[in-house]
């Protein structure tokens, strides 16, 4: 009888072992059949050097882009196009350059920092004369020559495209010599705007896009486009970008209808 119980015990043990092995095998097979998880896109940080006049529109566009591409961090470096161009020429790690002047952009193309096929003229702008809100003493460019009119501000012509255009217009209007002694130079258009907003100068010449974002100034006149070089904003990918494909994707997005609509809302003209 004892031998019988011993035999039954061994038989039960063998059966339980077989069942356990079978379950493990099925589990392994089930695991093998599961689809591999999709790998998330590699996180990248793009540095975009852009003209100061683009700040408000680019902030909006950048936020929208980040929502659709959470793997991409956009780092904006806003400033005068001439200064930004010099930084890139000296090797600053930049992925995209959005200039407010063709000549600054063309220098980078000539140096080989931007390939011709990776650049295009994307936007346009207008030049306007602005004064502190409520000021009635200046109604046009010709009033700048009046003795009682104080200082006026423009961007430094050598590095700030808006300043270069402003000087060209004043020269074309034949009033530059009369107002040159009154001119206060600024590092970019936003500084010009700030000088006017605070009343530190009687007037300033800025892009229409900058004037539209301030409720502390008034536009009193627009410069005739024939008095200055066409205001064009070229956009390009830096050839040595460490994230070329990601930079190209954002470059293409800036040309999309959605992005162009935002630029238009901020006063830019589109090509």
Which distant-in-sequence residues (6+ apart) come within 8 Å of 77 by Cβ?
Answer: 47, 48, 49, 50, 84, 87, 94
Q: Which residue has the tokens 């356990």?
A: 20
Rounded Cα distance between 91 and 8, Å, is 83
Second CATH level (architecture) for the domain 44-124+232-270: 3-Layer(aba) Sandwich (3.40)
Rounded Cα distance between 98 and 117, Å, is 15
Mean pLDDT throughout 163-169?
97
Q: Where are the domains of the chain?
A: 44-124+232-270, 127-227
Q: Which residue has the tokens 């130079």?
A: 185
Mean pLDDT throughout 221-241?
96
pLDDT of residue 271: 73
Task: Tell me whether domains 44-124+232-270 and 127-227 share a fold.
Answer: yes
Question: How many C-beta atoms lie closer than 10 Å to residue 76's C-beta?
Answer: 16
* Residues 7-40 pLDDT 10s: 445 544 444 545 455 555 444 444 444 444 444 5
Count CA atoms closer than 13 A to 240's CA, side-chain side.
Answer: 12
- pTM tops 0.85, yes or no: no
Structure tokens at 30: 């089930």
Question: How many C-beta atoms lie closer than 10 Å to residue 45's C-beta?
Answer: 13
* Residues 44-57 pLDDT 10s: 999 999 999 999 99
pLDDT of residue 136: 86
Does 127-227 carry CATH code 3.40.190.10? yes
């Amino acid at each position: 009888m004892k031998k019988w119980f011993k035999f039954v015990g061994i038989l039960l043990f063998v059966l339980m072992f077989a069942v356990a092995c079978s379950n493990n095998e099925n589990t392994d097979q089930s695991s093998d059949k599961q689809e591999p998880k999709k790998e998330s896109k590699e996180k990248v940080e793009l540095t975009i050097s852009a003209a100061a006049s683009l700040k408000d529109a680019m902030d909006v566009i950048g936020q929208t882009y980040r929502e659709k591409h959470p793997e991409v961090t956009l780092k904006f470096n806003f400033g005068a196009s001439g200064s930004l161009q010099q930084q890139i020429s000296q090797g600053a790690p930049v992925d995209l350059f959005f200039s407010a002047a063709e000549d600054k952009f063309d220098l980078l193309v000539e140096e080989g920092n931007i390939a011709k096929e990776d650049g295009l003229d994307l936007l346009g702008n207008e030049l306007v004369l602005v004064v502190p809100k409520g000021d009635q003493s200046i109604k046009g460019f010709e009033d700048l020559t009046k003795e009682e009119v104080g200082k006026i501000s423009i961007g430094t012509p050598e590095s700030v495209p808006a300043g270069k255009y402003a000087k060209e217009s004043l020269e074309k209007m034949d009033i530059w010599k009369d107002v040159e002694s009154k001119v206060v130079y600024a590092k970019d258009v936003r500084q010009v705007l700030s000088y006017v907003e605070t009343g530190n100068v009687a007037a300033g010449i800025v892009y229409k896009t900058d004037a539209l974002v301030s409720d502390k100034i008034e536009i009193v006149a627009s410069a005739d486009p024939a008095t200055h070089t066409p205001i064009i904003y070229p956009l390009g990918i830096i050839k040595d970008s460490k994230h070329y494909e990601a930079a190209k994707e954002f470059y293409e997005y800036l040309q999309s209808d959605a992005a162009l609509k935002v630029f238009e809302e901020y006063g830019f003209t589109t090509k």
